[in-house]
Structure 1
């Protein structure tokens, strides 16, 4: 590991863990910098780094992910006796100290060093054929970032889908994508030093952060720009119209389904009827739209 130095081993969310990351970026944060994370926006990440917003709360999904890490890693080890699988800590790049990585496991054999990332998923959507590099884009950026930090060539990704579908993937380091990550990360860190707040975007994490920034309510009036007022009113009206259209379309799909379970078009699932709670009748749930995730270099 001559390319990186070991910073330490920290409990996720602890004060020392936060201190080690305050002026650096880890693999799970790079996707947010690029606007690719489903959990964190550039805006929310910036405010957390500045100390203006609280750290993200621990969720059941996050806790179960941590609890299942060990058995999934153990399954990988049993399937790959050629590797020595060991825990590790947090590492910082010697060339770019602001680039840090905390891989789930380090792998070593007589001929190779690699890393292992362990994941869980509710469904196979966004996951391609096992053995390929077709993983969700936010996990791809994490793997590439950690490979680049440690100057390793391959990241193995072991994922348990729906509690019983174990799969493996592999992501290889390449300069075209990691160059995009490095540049975006450095630019983001520069905005922290310049106190240059990112623009508000449509991400749920951004809305949640703005709400948390002003927890008190003062009984005063605030004049806002007419263009902002008009944009808000138009968005509210469009949202109402979209909800009405969705409700009608859902009713039409339910009517076409009758007592059927899944609505399909040319073999592709469009929606599924799910049981209601208590005495409630079944409701309609849309199926995820399948798409091929872009490479980091294209998305950037």
Structure 2
């Protein structure tokens, strides 16, 4: 491992994800790069509510890696090597877990350190895989999903670096590269939000319940057992319950209807399109009948 120094980063060590040492380096009252998007309400995987419970030491749902995560891990080395193949004069290595020199609670585990052959210029390399490219801009731009932008800014701020390269493989074949520069204003917004969040954990100020699935799953694991008793809930909550279920049923019925109409239009075709926009596509069984109708993700 090449010895590299960063302006404000202190290397804690290199740990295997999922091990007790890895959990300890990321645990306690600290905020990691993968958590900062949840702090500001921008993470698709965690909510402020679920993260608050984790930091408060309360029950949270067990971590269950998805097939997408598994393949992302399997492909990480190949995508990193693809980036290296196109950048002569650079070397890359696993980055390890770091903390900020003055803020012990600010932690980051970048995918790779990227450095020149002489080891003088240190940058970061983040490696991603994605099934869809809707949230990713043209290769060579800085247009990446906002939750990854939060992650990158946090990493740069932790280590005191100025540039992060992002290499992503979309849909298994569409390779793109991005360059993200350090933004001091964005970094300060994230730091201030993280400090307020950690203070709320210390003070026991639980975030409001929101509509994120991570929040609902966190609430599910809080009770330990069941008592045979009735619990009175507010009338206003009952009204919202009734309205939400009625709207859900109506939406489900309309969705089934419109899916049938779209599938009927496609017939034995592959994709439904409108004025250049891809709407949905068919997957088929071995006999050619429809297995499923899948929507394309929309950025609108």
TM-score by length of 2: 0.91
Unaligned runs of 5+ residues in structure 1 are 292-300
Distance 2:101 2:75 in 1: 32
More off after superposition, 70-79 vs 118-127: 70-79
SS state of the match for residue 84, structure 2?
helix
Q: Does the CA-based 8 Å contact 2:7-2:161 persist in structure 1?
A: no
Distance 1:284 1:61 in 2: 20
From 246, 260, 267, the equivalent of 2:255 is: 246
Asked if 1:27 is matched to 2:33, the reply is yes
Displacement after TM superposition at 1:222 (Å): 0.8
Displacement after TM superposition at 1:253 (Å): 1.8
Distance 2:211 2:285 in 1: 31
Q: Residue in 2 aligned with 1:114?
A: 123
Q: Does the CA-based 8 Å contact 2:282-2:290 persist in structure 1?
A: no
Displacement after TM superposition at 1:280 (Å): 6.0
Q: Residue in 2 aligned with 1:67?
A: 74
Displacement after TM superposition at 1:231 (Å): 0.9
Distance 1:277 1:206 in 2: 40
Displacement after TM superposition at 1:203 (Å): 0.5
Asked if 1:92 is matched to 2:99, the reply is yes
SS state of the match for residue 152, structure 1?
coil
Offset from partner CA, 1:81-131 (integer Å, 9 cap, x none)? 211211221111113221111111111125632100111111222111001
Q: Residue in 2 aligned with 1:296?
A: none
From 156, 170, 180, the equivalent of 2:165 is: 156
Asked if 1:80 is matched to 2:87, the reply is yes
Distance 1:278 1:204 in 2: 36
From 207, 219, 225, the equivalent of 1:210 is: 219
From 276, 282, 293, the equivalent of 1:284 is: 293
SS state of the match for residue 12, structure 2?
strand
Q: CA RMSD in A?
A: 1.9
Q: Does the CA-based 8 Å contact 2:168-2:176 persist in structure 1?
A: yes
Q: Residue in 2 aligned with 1:40?
A: 46
Q: Does the CA-based 8 Å contact 2:97-2:110 persist in structure 1?
A: yes
Displacement after TM superposition at 1:255 (Å): 2.4
Count matched residues.
291
Alpha-carbon spacing, 1:203–1:277, altered in 2? closer, same or farther (3 Å): farther
SS state of the match for residue 27, structure 1?
coil
Displacement after TM superposition at 1:274 (Å): 2.2
Distance 2:47 2:134 in 1: 22
Q: Residue in 1 aligned with 2:21?
A: 16
More off after superposition, 49-58 vs 79-88: 49-58
From 277, 280, 286, the equivalent of 1:271 is: 280
Distance 1:262 1:80 in 2: 38
Q: Residue in 1 aligned with 2:132?
A: 123
SS state of the match for residue 288, structure 1?
coil
Q: Residue in 2 aligned with 1:51?
A: 57
Offset from partner CA, 1:188-218 (integer Å, 9 cap, x none)? 1111111111111111111111111125333
Alpha-carbon spacing, 1:199–1:276, altered in 2? closer, same or farther (3 Å): farther
Q: Residue in 2 aligned with 1:6?
A: 11
Distance 2:286 2:63 in 1: 30
